[in-house]
Amino acid sequence: MKKDAKLRLSWKSLIVVCLVISILPAGSAFAAVNKPFPQHTTYMSGSIKPNNVTQTSMDNSVKTKWDAWKTAYLKPAGTGKYYVKYNSAGETVSEAHGYGMLFTVLMAGYDSNAQTYFDGLYNYYKAHPSAINPYLMSWKQNSSFQNIEGEDSATDGDMDIAFSLLLADKQWGSSGTINYL
């Protein structure tokens, strides 16, 4: 399995775990972090949770992974925009972009810039609409931020982006500069 594929799988697992343990409440004032990372819950009897490390150690592992991922993959794309670097050529795809938007919502509270990153990722998404439907993201861009390989969309990327917008509304509300809903 390639390194990027392993990273995607490990981050997908992280997202699932974070979503299982964090149900975000109804929105409140803009920019307030309603459910800051880390979220903890009491598990039902029979649930599987690592018992060979402390909760603090698990939380610190997630923070360390986030910081490393952010340094390696979250990149500026001009004023007020961020994108997720997908490969060594500096290209991106909507799937990676959707992952990045999900991560930023979930790491709010630990990362004081989470909403800034999320809004920048949102602005990039809006700047690259699919030719199929302007509410979808064009699938792939090169390192110059130009759409390449057509302007189709990718369902998995669009679904992650849509879900991240729902989470953003619950995390920060929709009364600010961007109406996440």
Query: Which positions are annotated as active-site residues?
Result: 95, 156
Positions of E strands within the chain: 74-76, 82-84, 92-93, 140-141
Distance, CA of 152 to CA of 137 (rounded, Å): 8
Give the Cβ contact number of residue 125 at 10 Å.
Answer: 25
Task: Decide: residue 49, CB within 10 A, 0-12 exposed, 13-18 middle, 19+ buried.
Answer: exposed
The answer to whether 168 and 23 have CB atoms below 8 angstroms apart is no
Picking from 103, 80, 79, 91, the residue whose alpha carbon sits closest to that of residue 18 is 103
